[in-house]
Amino acid sequence: MSPLDGMTRAADACALLDGFRNGRADPLAVAEAHIERIERIDPCLNAFSARATDVLELARAARDRYAAGTPAGPLDGVPVIIKDNLVSAGLPAAWGNAELGRRVPEHDELPVAALRKAGAIILGKGNTPEFAVEGYTGNTTFGVTRNPFDPALTPGGSSGGVVAAVASGMAVAGLGTDGGGSIRRPAGYTGLWGLKPGIGTSRRGRGLPQVLLDFETVGPITRSARDLALFHAVLSVQPGPARDRPLRILAVSRIGDSPCEPVIEAAFGEAIARLRALGCEVSEGEFPLDLDPLNEVWAQMVEIGLAHLEWSDPPVLAAAAQKYRDMAKRGSRVSAVQLYEAMTRVFALREAVRGLWGHDAVLMPTAAAFPWPAEEAFPTTIDNRSVGPRGHAVYTGWVNAAGLPGLTFPMNMPRVLPIGMQLVADRGCENMLLAVAERLDGAEPAEDLPR
């Protein structure tokens, strides 16, 4: 039985915060309810790789602040989960790795510090594949994470622990990272909203080494579009412009001859209809870019990043699974000239997407496949065609390399697992995407407020 069976739609952060302010909800009762749910459900889903021990203490302090009319910030008392590749004081930033799991940092990296300053209560860390470089969630240190809609399946990755916790009601919202689709695809697999900010939009620093250049950004995963905007306001360096005119959107259902499951394409058609109903000008067409040059060097860049990690912190790679040690070994053989060529291709891509070919946004699915068995790293077939490790992920990686923002929204179809769609915008246009998302979300979330 799914952990979601019999569960009413839980309150989002905005509903909880309103309840805290008017006395309809108690931060301590909310925290206790989440702890109870974690203890009951997480043995099935394995979303958490570490649990915080100060949750009730922080919740009592939040309750006292609300009683005094002095909340700490815009997220005071909201229970959240943090992906386990983000540094948080008092908890390991294990990154799926046994050596890092033995280290406990004494500081927060910048996005975690921003949430804590806003009053969010950190429940614990969300499991991730080792080094967050794969599209499912499992590792030899903490095991396999499962999808709340069907525990036999993966929630995707690499933010799988975060989405599993948020979708199942074990956390109100989460903080993830996205280096090639790691917020957008898992959010799509679990019916959630996710934002991958563009490069430089959200605070980053004082964290673990990067293994994928500047492709990886930090963003929120939530139950509603309004929560996404709330968390982005806390995390962003400065707000970007919004647009009040109808958006011009290019809808791309397939990239080249890469397969996509027919039901996902049907949901894509529904997404087009919803956007048109909002007044958007949606034109369907081919993807204007040839992604082969990027795809040819993608795996190589990850291997170079792991080689650098091995050079800078040898015990971490010594404790890693063999496949990652092998990747690092291959990366150490790549020449500076080859790395320069890879960077040249990335810079060319960033120039090619400038202005989005006269459109305000590009609409695509978040993934070409439905979730697959939880223990497997990727699906081997899509629409009855054989695919490789990134066959399911064809729609997302280019957005990271281009440095653009991407927002995932749910398209829940009858009798199937959740399906995610993404809107990709030009640099600095996160607020435009968030405004569209709030209109797409429409109905107020149901309120299930523990007292």
Catalytic residues: 83, 158, 182
Beta strand 385-386 pairing with 381-382: antiparallel
| Paired residues of 51 in beta bridges | 124
Helix, strand, coil in percent for the chain, rounding step 5:
40, 15, 45
Q: In Å, what is the CA distance from 22 to each residue of 7, 27, 225, 369, 445?
A: 25, 12, 22, 43, 18
- Report how far residue 419's alpha carbon sits from residue 184's, in angstroms, rounded to the nearest whole number: 11
Alpha helices in 119-204 (DSSP H): 160-167, 184-189
Q: How is residue 191 annotated by DSSP? A: T
What is the rounded CA–CA span in Å between residue 196 and residue 199? 9
Handedness of CA 119, 123, 124, 129 (dihedral sign): negative
SS3 241: coil
- Burial-class residue 99 by CB neighbours within 10 Å (0-12, 13-18, 19+): middle
What is the chain's length? 451
